[in-house]
Structure formats: structure tokens, C-alpha cells
Chains A and B, each alone.
Chain A
Amino acid sequence: MLIDWFTVGAQVLNFLILVWLLKRFLYKPILHAIDEREKRIATELANADKKKAEAQKERDEFQHKNEELDQQRAALLGKATNEAQAERQRLLDEARKAAAVLSSKLQETSRNEEHALHQAIRRRTQQEVFAIARKALTDLATTSLEERLGEVFTRRLREMDGKMKAGLAEALKTASGPAIVRSAFDLPAEQRAAIQNALNETFSAEIRVRFETAPDLISGIELTTNGLKVAWSIADYLASLEKGVDELMKEQDKREAKAEPKAEAKAKSKPEDPKLETKSK
């Protein structure tokens, strides 16, 4: 008999036990391991994808920020450039203004200096003219200049025209104090007597006179009483000379002022002109 029924039963049992054993020890653990691994790989892949997405996002963000920064930088740079240009323009304008102010000051100063120089030259010329005149008079006259001045003064007193004489006489009479005779230097007693005599004779009265010295008269004598004045001095001549020179100067200044805006450089050569004109006069 090929089939042993007990063995068949035993083998069925054995087979079922084997099925259970293999399920327990082989299929379940192996499948579990495979599943776990797949799950793990899936998780890792998902994580990698997530990280990649995050990285991409971060990269995008970074790029965006970079672009923003670039724009900001460009804007700042542009602004700074504009400001710098404006500042440069402002500084240049200021410098130009300052230069203009300085140059006008310089011109002013040079004009002032020129003016002062003119003044000094004028004064010096006057003094020199006086000195020369005095020297010449002293050298030429037989008597001293002062004596001569006294004589001239007395002569003029005597030669006064009637109208002036009457006015002066009236003034002398009404004067509360003595008449004042001013001279640039101390008059000697003789001259004082001569002047007194001349006054007495001219006005036919005893005139009270007080003598004073006034150095600013410049070689001259004047009689002052009650607001009226009779005088003769070189200063008068000088004054007329000075007047003429002054007029000339003023004319010159006006011309300079007109010519200034056109040609400032020419201003220096101008002062020579009045000298020439003074000479010619």
C-alpha cells in the first residue's frame, strides 16, 4: 500500500505547523522589514523633497533679497551722487561768491589805497608848495615873510571898499568884546602896533584888539569880530588851488567809477592823469 493514512494525517499536521512556523519566522519579519525599509526610504525621499523645496524657497528668498539690496544700493548711490553734485555745485557757487566778494574787497581796498595815496600826494604837494613858496618868499623878500604879510594885511584893511568897511565898522561897534586878530605866528610888537594903527585909522576909532595865534591859518592874518572876518593868508590861495585840484580829482573819480565795470585793470594807470593836468594848470 503506497498511501499510509496515518502518515498522511501526520504530514497534513506537519505541513500546517510548517505554515505557521514560516509565517511566524519568515514571511512576517521579512515583509515587515521590507515594508519598514520602503517606508523609511519614502520618508527620506519626502524629507529630501521637503528640504529641497525649503532650499529652493530659501534660495528664492535670498535672491529676492539680493535684488532688493541691489536696488536699494543703486538708489542710495544715485541719491548720494545727486547730493554730491548738488553739494559740489553749492560749494562752487559759494567759492565763486567768496571769490567775487574777495575781489571786490580787493578792488575796494586798492581803490581806498589809491585814494589815500592821492590824498597823501595832495597833502604833500600842498606842503611842498607852501614850503617852496615860503622859501621863495623868504629868499626873495627883503623883509621877513611875516612882516610882509602884516603889511599886506594893513594895506588891505586900508584899501577895503566902502560897503565892507561900513559893515565891519558896524560889527566892531556892536561887538561886546575886543576884535580878534589871528595869525599863524606870534606877531612882533611893531606889527601889532601897525595893525592897531591901521585899524584905528581905518575906522577912526579906538579899536580894542586881541592878538591870537592860530597855526592853521598858514602864513596869514585875519580879523574877526562879531561874525565878520577880514583875512588874508596863503591858505586862501592854497584853498583856491586845492579847490581846483579837488574838482579835478572828483571828475577823475567819477570817470574811474564809470570805467570800473568795463576795465578794472586800467584803474591803476588813471591816477597819473590829474598830475599831468595839475602841471598844465
Chain B
Amino acid sequence: MHLSPDQMIFWQFGFLKLNATIVFTWGLMFVLAVGSKLITRRLSVDLKRSRWQNLLEIVVTAIQKQIEEVGLSEPRKYLGFIGTLFLFVAAAALCTIIPGYQPPTGSLSTTAALALCVFVAVPFFGIMEQGVGNYLKSYMKPTFIMLPFNIISELSRTLALSVRLFGNMMSGAMIIAILLTIMPFIFPILMTVLGLLTGMVQAYIFGILAAVYIAAATRVRKPKPEPEAAH
């Protein structure tokens, strides 16, 4: 019984190693990329379109709409990052119904990696949007006294992001594993269903929080009207 899929090491060469986390991540990447490719290979611009295309259009437009609702006036700019966060976490949670599968998000390394990505992406988009000076100044708003607190909040929320997701996914997997040893009938299924739900909620939370952080970083001192938000 491993606490994290990181501990399931298939191959190691000194520093380099191939654990379950990386392998399952690759698997998810493969499924997501190839699935998308297969569906988008024959896209129809006509009024008539395949069900798969319809599904993907719904998913993509829903993500786009969510990003917009958070307050990002140009959702397409952030769709790649935030959408992929959500889709990856959601796919990792959904695949828990596959026996023998270990969600890569159940590893603190993965969630830390994702949180780090958000940690880097927030200033990246902020600087892209309002320039280095303005972005750095935003740490001293409303007064310079707030600078350390802002930095602490920046760090702590990254930590919170990673630990929250890790805790939820890991606990789900752990509960099922424990229940299987105690009472391997029906109850684990219920817990799996619950795990799917919490997984989807966590994916949503992770994506939305990333969007909120980016929105906060890009919208500071920019009280410009949002024409697209009216949609």
C-alpha cells in the first residue's frame, strides 16, 4: 500500500525514474490528445455535426464561459492554460473508475507541479497584461505595508492549491483501498461515485481558482468596461 503513486517506481536510473505518476500522466495525456485529435480531425463547420464534436464544443464553450464569468474579458487567451488544468484534473478523477488506476493528482508531486504552474502563470499573465512595473506595484496595494502579506498570500495559496487537490484525491483513493479490505461489497462503489463527484468538484475548484488568481493579477488597476462580459 503506497500513500502516493510516486512510490510505484517501474524504472530508475540514478536521478531519473519512471514512477506510476508519470506513467499515468502520460496515459491521460495520450488519451486526451489522441481523443481530441480523432474528434477534431473531421470537424464540420456546417450546421450538422457529429455527437463527439458537439460534446467537445459544449465542454470548450462551457470552460470559456466560466473563465469569462470569473472576470477575464478575453477568455481565449487563458483557455489553453485554465482549460487544460481543469481537463487534466477532471480526467484524472474520472479515470478512477478504471481498476488498478492510480490518479496522478493523488500524488503531491503532481499537484505541486500544477500549483507551481499556476504560481508562475499568475505573474506571467499579469506582466503580459499590464507590464512589469504595474504588476510589481500591485503587490504594494493598497499600501506598501501590504507587500509582505501579498507575497505570503501568493505563496500560501499555491501551497493550498496543491495540498487541497492532493488531499482530496489521495483520500478518495485511500478510502476506497481501505474499504476494499474491510468490506469489499457495494460500499466501495458508493465511495467511488462520491470520489468521482469530489474529483469533478476539485477539478472545477482548481480551474476556477487559477482563473480567479489570474483575473486578480490582470485586472488590478484596470477598471475598463468589459463588453464581452455582457454576453
- A interface with B by C-beta (< 8 Å): 2-12, 14-19, 21-23, 25-27, 29-34, 36-37, 40-41
B57: chain A residues at CB < 8 Å are 30, 33-34
> B81 — which chain A residues lie within 8 A by C-beta?
19
Q: Is the interface of A mostly helix, strand, loop or mixed?
A: helix
A-contact bits for B163-205, CB 8 A (1 contact / 0 none): 0001000000000000000000000000000000000000000
Interface residues on B, range: 35 or more
Selected from B21, B33, B47, the residue in CB contact (under 8 A) with A21 is: B33
Query: Is B117 touching A12 in the complex (CB atoms < 8 A)?
Result: yes
Q: List 21 A-B contacts (CB under 8 A).
A: A2-B6, A3-B108, A3-B109, A7-B22, A7-B107, A7-B109, A7-B113, A10-B25, A11-B109, A11-B110, A12-B117, A15-B113, A15-B117, A22-B32, A23-B84, A25-B36, A25-B37, A26-B36, A30-B56, A33-B53, A41-B47
- Residue on B nearest A10 in the bound complex, by CB: B22
B87 touches A22 (CB 8 A): yes
**B residues 1-16 touching A (CB-CB < 8 Å):** 3-4, 6, 15-16
Asked whether, in the complex, the Cβ of B17 is within 8 Å of the Cβ of A6, the reply is: yes
Contact (A14, B29) CB under 8 Å given A7-B6, A25-B40, A26-B40:
yes
Name B residues whose Cβ lies closer than 8 Å to a Cβ of A: 3-4, 6, 15-17, 19, 21-22, 25-26, 28-29, 32-33, 36-37, 40, 43-47, 49, 53, 56-57, 60-61, 76, 79-81, 83-84, 87-88, 104, 107-110, 112-114, 116-117, 166
List the 8 shortest-distance A-B pairs measured between CB atoms, nearest first. A11-B113, A7-B109, A36-B45, A29-B40, A26-B36, A25-B36, A21-B33, A2-B108
Q: How far is the CB of B61 from chain A (nearest CB, A)?
A: 7
Give the distance to chain A from B7, nearest Cβ to Cβ, in Å. 9
Which residue on chain B has the smallest CB distance to residue A38? B45
Cβ-Cβ contact count across A and B, 8 Å cutoff: 123
| B33, A22: Cβ atoms closer than 8 Å | yes
Report A-chain residues with C-beta under 8 Å of the C-beta of B17: 6-7
CB–CB A25/B33 < 8 A: yes
CB distance from A46 to the nearest CB of B (A): 16
Is the contact region of chain B dominated by helix, strand, or loop, or is it mixed? Answer: helix
Known: A7-B17, A26-B32. 5 other contacts (CB 8 A): A3-B109, A7-B113, A30-B56, A36-B45, A41-B47
User: Taking A21-B32, A30-B43, A33-B57 as contacts, is the C-beta distance between A2 and B83 under 8 angstroms?
Assistant: no
- A18 engages B88 (CB within 8 Å): yes
Residues of chain A lying within 8 A (CB to CB) of residue B80: 19, 22-23, 27
| Chain B min CB distance to A51 (Å) | 18
Most chain A CB atoms below 10 A, which of B17, B25, B88, B113 = B113
Residues of A within 8 A of B107 (CB): 4, 7
Contact of A18 among B49, B56, B84 (CB under 8 A): B84
Nearest A-chain residue to B79, judged by Cβ = A27
Cβ of A27 and Cβ of B45 under 8 Å apart? no
Contacts of A9 in B (CB 8 A): 113
Identify the closest chain A residue to B81 (Cβ).
A19
Once the chains bind, are A7 and B40 in contact (CB under 8 Å)?
no
- A6 to B12, alpha carbons, bound, how many Å? 11
Q: Tell me, in angstroms, the Cα distance from A2 to B109 when the chains sit together.
A: 7
Across the interface, name the chain A residue whose C-beta is closest to B105: A11
User: With a CB–CB cut-off of 8 A, which chain A residues contact B32?
Assistant: 18, 21-22, 26
Bound complex: CA A18 to CA B90 (Å): 14
- Check A4–B109 contact: CB distance below 8 A: yes
Which of these, B25, B33, B60, contacts A27 with CB under 8 Å? B60
Look across to chain B and name the residue whose beta carbon is closest to the beta carbon of A40.
B45
The smallest beta-carbon distance between A229 and chain B, in angstroms, is 137
State the CA gap A222–B112 with chains docked (Å).
180
Which residue, A15, A21, A41, has most C-beta atoms of chain B within 10 A? A15
Q: Select one of A8, A18, A41 contacting B33, CB under 8 A.
A: A18
> Distance in Å from the Cβ of B92 to the closest Cβ of chain A?
11
